[in-house]
A = this chain, B = another copy of it.
Amino acid sequence: MLRIAVIGAGRIGKIHAANVARHPRTWLSAVAVPIEGAARALAQAHQCEWTAQADDLIAGKDVDAIVICTPTNTHVDLIERAAAAGKAILCEKPIDLDIAKVERCLASLARTPVPLLVGFNRRFDPSAAALKRAIDDGQIGALRQVLITSRDPAPPPLASIPSTGGLFRDMTIHDFDMGRWLLGEEPVEVWATASCLVDPQIAVLGDVDTAMVVMRSAGGRQCHINNCRQAAYGYDQRLEAFGSSGMVANDNLRPTTLRRSGAACTEARDPLLPFFLERYAESYVRELDAFVAAVLDEKPVAVSAEDGRRALVLADAALEAVKSGRAVRV
């Protein structure tokens, strides 16, 4: 059994705590949440210990691993302390919004190596994983193009915009990771364009809400990403990979298979699953599987700190491309 402590009790912290509590190979030792009410509630739900101090858990003898679900700006500090204490780490994305800080963190990790999995949960989605497997199995021959559609149902609260690091570092970062992973070759060039078409207040805050990105690998493979902070029809998450002998694609998930036909239209389907907690519920479970396998079975870490760094490099490059109008080499 892997004894795990979860730090943070936001939306994702709760998901991780529940998954850890239920996983056949893990034990939820404790949760660390600064607000006592929230901490007590979560601890009670899963019948585990709680503390307001993350340090207690990081130092704890009955804790083998830490799941970090706190605000982004606390990740690096927690990673470094947990690594120093020899704990395995599952850290929510991104490692940090500042590439210099991320690089210092990676350097630090090199001195106190522990298994660290960065929470790019979408890699663990059964459909995304099947698409990746189809590529790797040669089902579409030599890969040529990847298309990623990723649109949120609604923008985050305006108040949170400044701390997100902007669209590319906050939202597209998932797609940068997905693009790298599916391309199977490192992107060497990034280009992007971005607009504010959803809410002008987002522009006032210095951010954008609608973007297109193109990346190219050294081998000439191409990856397109389109993003928007708001889609009226729900959380739109689609992938397509095209190669010399075929194409594989994923459509969205829906809560049921119901199709409705009437005088106005036919084959109408329900709205998509609301947002990432519902859409990627299974991914979080499988991400935990992968983390457990990395620690207990010494399997390679599925998404490394270096993967986390590279996604941020691509996000920074996209931002620079928007500013300069040039494709940015990475």
Contacts and interface: CB of A to CB of B under 8 A. Distances in A.
A242 interface: yes
Given A151-B242, A265-B270, A268-B265, A257 B214 contact: no
Contact of A127 (B131, B256, B271): B256
A269 interface: yes
Interface string A236-273: 10000010111111111111111111111111111110
Interface string A121-164: 00000110011001000011110110101010000000000000
Interface in A209-251: 210-212, 214, 216, 220-222, 224, 226, 228, 230-234, 236, 242, 244-251
A26 interface: no
Nearest to A128: B256
> How often does this chain occur in the complex, in copies?
4
A195 interface: yes
Given A191-B191, A193-B222, A327-B325, A260 B246 contact: yes
A269 B267 contact: yes
Given A230-B244, A266-B272, A195 B214 contact: no
Interface of A: 22, 126-127, 130-131, 134, 139-142, 144-145, 147, 149, 151, 189, 191, 193, 195-198, 210-212, 214, 216, 220-222, 224, 226, 228, 230-234, 236, 242, 244-272, 325-327
